[in-house]
Amino acid sequence: MYQFNYHKPASLDEAVALFREADDPMYLSGGMTLLATMKQRLAAPTDLIDLAGIAEMTGVQVNADAVRVGAFTTHNVVAGSAEIQQALPVLSQLAGLIGDNQVRNRGTIGGSVANSDPSADYPAAVVGLGGTVHTQQRSISGDEFFQDLFETALQPGEIITHIDFPIPKRAAYRKFPNPASRYAVVGVLIADFGGSVRVGVTGAGPCAFRASGIEEVLNEHLDPSAINGVEVPDAGFNNDLHASAEYRAHLVKVMARRALSDLLKT
């Protein structure tokens, strides 16, 4: 590690002001990725702005048609929230599959979404459920938020404050996890909004995306066998030591069939 300035603001305004005044600042949420990259000297901010002291960014609110989760809410809180388990159980289930208990105790939903790791779980929920990402200055549709590898629609200094997830009629998430990290080699979330089906995919490409071909056939016939004839092009898919692009394309269909089978049981 190296020398840097550490700040722990008590409000969003203070955090933004610190960011604007620093030479090369970065916000710290759970730190699951940032601290590791700093130790490897892949990131070297002059100022680290810890968002842990901003109380308004934590917590869960549920209304008739949506679940709102504060950006600094940890994975374990999302996984164990009785309110989320009742209103949107797929989100609690997804959160419970992230990493190990130590990661879930420290990692936050806002940090994960802002980081846009290609194999993170939450992006599949943001896209698959049609979520909305809120910052201190605007609201961003989940369909427009994830743009490329570790790249989002966030502007410099912008902070995710909370995320809204519409509540579907039913939904399910399945992933093929890396056996060591538990990251999704491929993960698929399917949500049925009573006649309109959305399919969010993570792990396969540089960032989360909607599987439009699978959505099209499922909106016509909600049956796992309908997915068999869908072509999932592997062009641009991730190709690494964990899985080839071709294998990831295959896994998209496998995980989609499993998720749909789970969904149909609810």
The 10s digit of each residue's pLDDT in 96-154 is 999 999 999 999 999 999 999 999 999 999 999 999 999 999 999 999 999 999 999 99
Interior angle at CA 69, CA 96 and CA 36, nearest 5: 60
Is residue 155 located within the same domain as residue 187?
yes
Q: Which of 265, 13, 37, 20 is nearest to 155 (CA)?
A: 20
Q: Verify that 48 and 125 share a domain, yes or no.
A: no
35 and 116 part of one domain: no
> Do 106 and 195 have their domain in common?
yes
**CA-CA distance, 136 to 139, in Å (whole number)?**
9
Q: Is 42 found in the same domain as 146?
A: no
pTM of structure:
0.95
One domain, residues 9 and 82? no
237 and 141 share one domain: yes
Number of domains in the chain: 2
**Domain of 49, in residue numbers:** 5-53
Say if residue 17 is in the same domain as residue 110. no
Same domain? 30 vs 68: no
Statement to judge: residues 134 and 252 lie in one domain: yes
| pLDDT given at position 174 | 98
Task: State whether 118 and 22 are in the same domain.
Answer: no
pLDDT value for 1 = 61
d(CA 5, CA 24): 10
Report how far apart, in Å, the C-alpha atoms of 190 and of each of 78, 126, 140, 223, 260 are.
Answer: 19, 11, 21, 12, 7
- Confidence (pLDDT) at 266: 84
Which of the residues in the chain have pLDDT under 50? none
Q: Any idea what the CATH number is for the domain that residue 22 is in?
A: 3.30.43.10
Is the C-alpha dihedral spanning 151, 174, 245, 222 positive or negative?
negative
Q: What is the CATH number of the domain that holds 134?
A: 3.30.465.10
Residue 187 phi/psi, 5° resolution?
-135, 140
- Same-domain pairing of 48 and 64: no
